[in-house]
Amino acid sequence: MTPPDRAMLERVAQQGDFIVTRAIEWCAINSGSHNLDGLTEMATPLVTTMARLGDVDRIRLAPTQAVASDGTVQTVPSADALRLRVRPQAPVQIALTGHYDTVYPAETRFRSVTTREDGALHGPGIADMKGGISVMLAALAAFEAHPAADALGYTVLLSPDEETGSLASAHLLAELGAAAHVGMTYEPALADGTLVSARKGSGNFHLRITGRAAHAGRDFASGRNAILAAARIAQALDALNGQREGVTVNVARIDGGAPLNMVPDIAVLRFNARLPDAAAEAWLETAIREAMTDGEGDGITLDLHGRITRPPKPFVPAQQALFDAVRATGALIGQTIAWAPSGGVCEGNNLFAAGLPGIDTLGVRGGDIHSEREFAWGESFVERAQLSALLLAKLADGSIDGPALRHALKG
């Protein structure tokens, strides 16, 4: 490491308590994906913090559509995406992404951060990913004083809808992925610091099933039961599991029903699919259509909503080269970097689909995300901010060749 590198890392260390405290304060603001008021409130301190680095845009996202439990298609408003651009003309460009929505709804009882007996921080979003955002912004603030900073530009994109699939922000992720050389995303690492290498692709689907209502006593035979059709299709979808390696279909919910003396005419079947590669995606599309035939016809009609929104992210050679560089960088500061594949998905999938090599678990060390047991290790805030700051410095001085990594992925 160079003396400027060491000075930068010391700046991070001096901010350690603040990096943690800031994240804890942000966790006290409920910003569940559907809590627009909370998301608006959360955006304020984020914009204030980001503006210390450069100009920030609040980008109004278009509304999306969702299938309600009664089968109607409803418009869902979106909160703003937040975008910071610094030195867009620099020869090396980095995309840093995160999300400020959480999975916890406005009415949750899980509202604040406490410290467990083992010292871990326990609270909503402390790992996923308000802690990660605090780490990201701390790394950038420390890097700005590095003498190599002028050689590197970056764009930070914080989205309000990652936990619901990034439907409204997907176009911004695609644009960002197409314009940068390397991506850095701040999902939490595993509790021991392990990074995620390969990721499956994922899609959420909502199938509206329309039958014919009828009196269960007087006119039962003329009814067409949407719930039974949904059940038959659900069984056919579940039977896809095990047919192709790496493909899973999770039937998660059936909405609908009617009074007990009425044949139900509406049902909504909801399921998630995971897949390892593009070939599996093509197979899955055909398999879903075939499964649907188990319920349609004879007065039953089907209307499928949804698609694969997170393409697979395989561990190709360009990704391997980037991970090797991260491991070497971590070794400079005494961090042992390991990685493993995951069936989970994130914005890193979107960026990779746009041709961007990237590491998408640069956030804090933690676990039990998407539950009221969510936790993060407090000491990892400085640890991970130092890793990111040093990665930025090595990308800026050419020790890590970002443009070559991008070219290798395209090739």
Are 409 and 182 spatial neighbours (Cβ–Cβ below 8 Å)? Answer: no
Per residue in 141-160, pLDDT (tens digit) is 999 999 999 999 999 999 99
pLDDT at 99: 98
| Local structure of residue 337 (DSSP, 8 states) | -
Cα gap 382→373, rounded to integer Å: 22
**207 pLDDT more than 80:** yes
pLDDT at 80: 98
**411 pLDDT more than 80:** no
Burial class (CB in 10 A: 0-12, 13-18, 19+), 238: middle
| Local structure of residue 116 (DSSP, 8 states) | -
Q: Six-digit token pair at 326? A: 């991260």
DSSP assignment string, 343-405 = S---HHHHHHHTT--EE-B-S-BEE-TTSTT-EE-TTHHHHHHHHHHHHHHHHHHTSS-HHHH
Cα gap 146→161, rounded to integer Å: 33
pLDDT at 410: 81
Looking up tokens 């409803």, which residue turns up?
Answer: 74
Residue 63 confidence class, pLDDT cut points 50, 70, 90: very high
Residue 184 confidence class, pLDDT cut points 50, 70, 90: very high
Per residue in 260-293, pLDDT (tens digit) is 999 999 999 999 999 999 999 999 999 999 999 9
Q: What is the chain's mean pLDDT, rounded?
A: 97
Range 215-244 average pLDDT: 97
Per residue in 67-105, pLDDT (tens digit) is 999 999 999 999 999 999 999 999 999 999 999 999 999
Q: Six-digit token pair at 237? A: 């979808």
Buried b (16+ CB within 10 A) or exposed e, 212-230: bbbebeeeeeebbbbbbbb
Torsion of CA 24, 26, 29, 30, to 10 degrees: -90
| Local structure of residue 138 (DSSP, 8 states) | H
pLDDT at 85: 98
Per residue in 341-378, pLDDT (tens digit) is 998 999 999 999 999 999 999 999 999 999 999 999 99
Range 162-171 average pLDDT: 96
Q: Six-digit token pair at 33? A: 């994906």
Are 395 and 152 spatial neighbours (Cβ–Cβ below 8 Å)? Answer: yes
- The angle that helices 130-143 and 16-27 make with each other, rounded to 10 degrees, is 140
Q: What is the pTM of this model?
A: 0.94
Residue 233 confidence class, pLDDT cut points 50, 70, 90: very high
**305 pLDDT more than 80:** yes
**295 pLDDT more than 90:** yes
Which CATH superfamily does the domain covering 3-67+77-198+313-410 fall into?
Zn peptidases (3.40.630.10)
Q: Six-digit token pair at 84? A: 């910071």
The strand pairing partners of 367, in sequence order, are: 375
Range 255-261 average pLDDT: 95
Are 366 and 128 spatial neighbours (Cβ–Cβ below 8 Å)? Answer: yes
Per residue in 319-333, pLDDT (tens digit) is 999 999 999 999 999
Range 152-180 average pLDDT: 97
Cα gap 183→391, rounded to integer Å: 11
Q: Are strands 301-310 and 201-210 parallel, antiparallel or unpaired?
A: antiparallel
**338 pLDDT more than 80:** yes
Please state which of the four CATH numbers 3.30.70.360, 4.10.490.10, 2.160.20.10, 3.40.50.300 is assigned to the domain occupying 201-310: 3.30.70.360
pLDDT at 303: 97
Domain borders along the chain are: 3-67+77-198+313-410, 201-310
Cα gap 184→361, rounded to integer Å: 8
- The angle that helices 36-50 and 130-143 make with each other, rounded to 10 degrees, is 20
Per residue in 116-149, pLDDT (tens digit) is 999 999 999 999 999 999 999 999 999 999 999 9
Cα gap 233→240, rounded to integer Å: 11
